[in-house]
Copies of this chain bind each other. A is one copy, B any other.
Amino acid sequence: MCELLGLCFNKPIAPSISFIGFRQRGEVNRHGWGVAFYPDRSAQVIKEPINAGASELSNFLKDYKYMSSRILIAHVRHATVGSHTSMNTHPFQRELGGKDYVFAHNGNLIGNFRKELALGQYRPVGETDSEHAFCYLLERLRKRNLAVWGLADFQFLEKELREINRYGIFNCLLSDGEHLFAYRGFDEKRTLYLLNRVPPYGRVRLLDQDFSIDLGKRKDPKTFGFIVATRPLTDEAWIPFPSGRLLVFRNGKTVYSDTKMPKSVRDSPVG
């Protein structure tokens, strides 16, 4: 399976992210890694169709203060659909309405989704179910003529994500550079967790996971935000997403949540 990691903070942060899964768990093959972030309104996506733990580039980026961004999406791929090539490696990127969207998926779709989830202007470059789903989503948003995201748009997106979810296992992260959209599908085994980070925080204590993330020693006590991951990355109190729900974050706060989530998440507490 694949691993997702998403960050949404109120100020740009420059995290050190280590892709360590393979090194720790040699028995599990990893077929690619990728990261997307926003130096400004535009997205920068870097990916490689090779084992992340063995990548000199991912190792270089870990210590390079290049990924300064309020929003970041990272992905480790365990290929289920498509060859081990760059075009099949997440995150994917497209422009809509002058905004750079990026997308990463955990799961796999089956059945006749390529025909029934009809495409329009956006066409996959690679072979994956994931890129098809992304192109479908963007076409739906394009037809909505979205100018500014509001409650009705979040509900619309959630409905579309559930529509895709009918075809299989579907957890995903999406961003337009302003919002981080995180959806957990209906599959009970395919989890997604949330952590609200407020200063002070330093290096996290690792569990046995694919990612390690170090947010650095924040000197600014006003920097806060959320981390979303397939599984808890630390021994802190990560909050599981409810099934079939979308959560939306902006500027380090929750802007669309679920009544099943703790009040601390719904109210998007700050430090």
Contacts and interface: CB of A to CB of B under 8 A. Distances in A.
Nearest to A121: B121
A186 B141 CA distance: 41
A95 to B, nearest CB: 6
Interface in A104-144: 121-126, 142
Contacts of A126: 40-42
A56 interface: yes
A156 interface: no
Interface stretch (A20-28, A46-54, A207-215): A46-54
A98 B98 CA distance: 19
A201 interface: no
Contacts of A85: 39-40, 42
A31 to B, nearest CB: 14
Interface string A39-76: 11110111111000000110010001010000000000
A39 B86 contact: yes
A46 B251 CA distance: 26
A39 B49 contact: yes
Interface residues of A, number: 32
A187 to B, nearest CB: 28
A87 B123 CA distance: 23
Contacts of A124: 98
A99 interface: yes
Nearest to A39: B86
Contacts of A100: 125
A177 to B, nearest CB: 8
Contacts of A56: 64
Interface in A79-97: 85-87, 93-95, 97
Contacts of A66: 48, 57
A94 B47 CA distance: 17
A123 to B, nearest CB: 4
A60 B41 CA distance: 25
Contacts of A86: 39-40, 42, 44
9 shortest A-B CB distances, which residue pairs? A42-B87, A98-B123, A39-B86, A40-B85, A42-B125, A40-B87, A60-B60, A42-B86, A41-B87
Given A41-B87, A100-B125, 15 more contacts: A39-B49, A39-B85, A40-B85, A40-B86, A41-B125, A56-B64, A57-B60, A57-B64, A57-B66, A93-B93, A94-B95, A95-B125, A97-B123, A98-B124, A121-B121
